[in-house]
A = this chain, B = another copy of it.
Amino acid sequence: MRPVCVIGLGLIGGSVLRAARAAGRSVWGATASEQDAEAAVADGFAVADTVDDALVRAAGEDAIVVLAVPLPATETVLYKIAERAPHCLLTDVVSVKAPVLALVRRILPHVHYAGGHPMAGVAASGWIAGSATLFERAAWVVTAEPDTELGTWREVARLALDCGAQVVPTTAAEHDAAVAVVSHLPHVLAAVLAATGAEAGPLALSLAAGSFGDGTRVAGTRAELVLAMCEGNREQLLGALDDALGKLGVARGALASTGSLRATVRGGNLGRAELVRHKRGQRVRTKVDLAGPRALEELCLLGRRGGRIIGLDGDLALAELPEDDAR
């Protein structure tokens, strides 16, 4: 099994390091955070003194390099990789994919790269918040562009599976559009609701119960994390915000003119039922032949239909699809 070098040892990077070791891989890391470095060493992990040292070792042992720093720090680290380990397999775990892909193409045009995004919690942070089981059954996006090397994609998918995750294949653009709606938009709506509620004063907070508590929960997330996600996905989030503004305007208009919110509430009922069916409904098994001539397209089609890869068996990717979408 290929060794794993993780740059950045926060919640996600630190959990990759632990999970990859638990899967039997040789692992080491590096981080600019003294606190994370000390905590990782105290937990018995190898942490290089500098990012350069970690990358030199990665080049020597032909490791897969996992870029696990916040988006604003990726450019600097990519230049170090270009200098120290340009031939290593490369992936990342940053929460937006098109901006990282653009940086990789500019700085390391010939690198063997497939982007990644494990969909794991963001409320806590730092090495101490991580664990070897953080990715258990979670979705882990591995991006497949038309020019992605299938061999690289498989190595990154194998790492994600080793970490206990289920692999969602998709393009960077489709990923960013999807998370704009299901991750970044919810954070903006929660912020708007929380601010509106607090402005309404103590009586309103006194009467606030389940719906307000649920609707504002992620407004408590650390601002830096939310801003990095949302601002890094600006174009796609603008589209999602326009969708939401449009629907909210329609609701406002209907209530003002006809007094009815039926279409809005019915749309919400149907949407929520769709989510529940997707998450709890039956799933059917399927396969993708990775040796086939259109493997990348088939992988992306699987992802688009809500499918996840749960194992690799030779040239076959073993997958599951929601029953509704499998027909």
A-to-B contact residues, CB < 8 Å:
119-121, 138-139, 141, 168, 170, 174-175, 177-179, 181-183, 185-220, 223, 226-227, 230-231, 234, 237-238, 240-245, 247-249, 251-252, 255-256, 259-262, 264-276, 278-279, 303-308, 322, 325
Contacts and interface: CB of A to CB of B under 8 A. Distances in A.
Nearest to A209: B119
A268 B219 contact: yes
Contacts of A244: 192-193, 196, 248
A279 to B, nearest CB: 8
Contact of A181 (B200, B256, B271): B200
Nearest to A249: B245
Given A220-B272, A255-B241, A119 B186 contact: no
A196 B181 contact: yes
Contact of A186 (B212, B223, B256, B265): B212
Contacts of A214: 186, 190, 214-215, 217-218
User: What is the count of identical protomers in the complex?
Assistant: 2
Interface SS of chain A: helix
Nearest to A174: B203
A242 B252 CA distance: 8
A10 to B, nearest CB: 18
Nearest to A276: B220
Most buried by B among A226, A275, A279, A303: A275
